[in-house]
Amino acid sequence: AKGWPRNKFVHACNVLAQMLDNDQNGCADDANVVKMIRMTQSGMAMFATENSASWNQVADTFHGQSLYADETELGCSGSSESGNCRDAAIEEILHVVTAKGVGPAYPSKFSDCYTNINSISEMQAQMDIARGGHFTSVPNNYPAGSIFHYDDTTCDYSCMGTEF
């Protein structure tokens, strides 16, 4: 967390702690989720800004989700979020918890790794319903009536599951 103000670093740590221990009893609510995050050597790669990211300082075996200090906005969390004020820490940390913890711990229910229509997880099936079909890449147009749209063309089917 080089270049991070202490208050933002503590905030990011607290976001992760609350996601893993929602009832705040001091123990992870689901030890399998924590086990999978550790087994996949996953966590947050924290840099001051996107331009200052030094990925060469991160071990090749570490699966890091980037989080930048300049997108971590303590005053923009929860009900304080608005169109102009957003704390990216919540979303980026949730990506690690879901993609590297929940998905691997419960693959038939929550995995985002399957792309074959015959072996998708229940979460992916719901995503396909919300998107109006099974699309392995971003469609030119989502069908009428679809309720989940994500238009980043660099985002493949697994990535869509993480975003969903």
Number of C-beta neighbours around residue 154 at 10 A: 7
Q: What is the mean pLDDT of the chain?
A: 91
With 80 as the cut, is the pLDDT of residue 140 above it? yes
Report pTM. Answer: 0.84
The mean pLDDT of 10-15, rounded to a whole number, is: 94
Which pLDDT score is estimated for 79?
87
Q: State the Cα–Cα distance between residues 155 and 63, nearest whole angstrom.
A: 17
Strand residues in 23-159 grouped as ranges (E): 42-47, 63-68
The percentage of residues in the chain with a pLDDT greater than 90, rounded to a whole number, is 64
The mean pLDDT of 61-83, rounded to a whole number, is: 90
With 90 as the cut, is the pLDDT of residue 133 above it? yes
Tokens 């705040």 map to which residue?
24
| Spatial CA neighbour of 104 closest among 8, 28, 30 | 30
Q: State the Cα–Cα distance between residues 62 and 10, nearest whole angstrom.
A: 21
For residue 66, give the 3-state DSSP assignment: strand
Q: State the Cα–Cα distance between residues 89 and 73, nearest whole angstrom.
A: 8
With 80 as the cut, is the pLDDT of residue 116 above it? no
With 80 as the cut, is the pLDDT of residue 51 above it? yes
Which pLDDT score is estimated for 68?
92
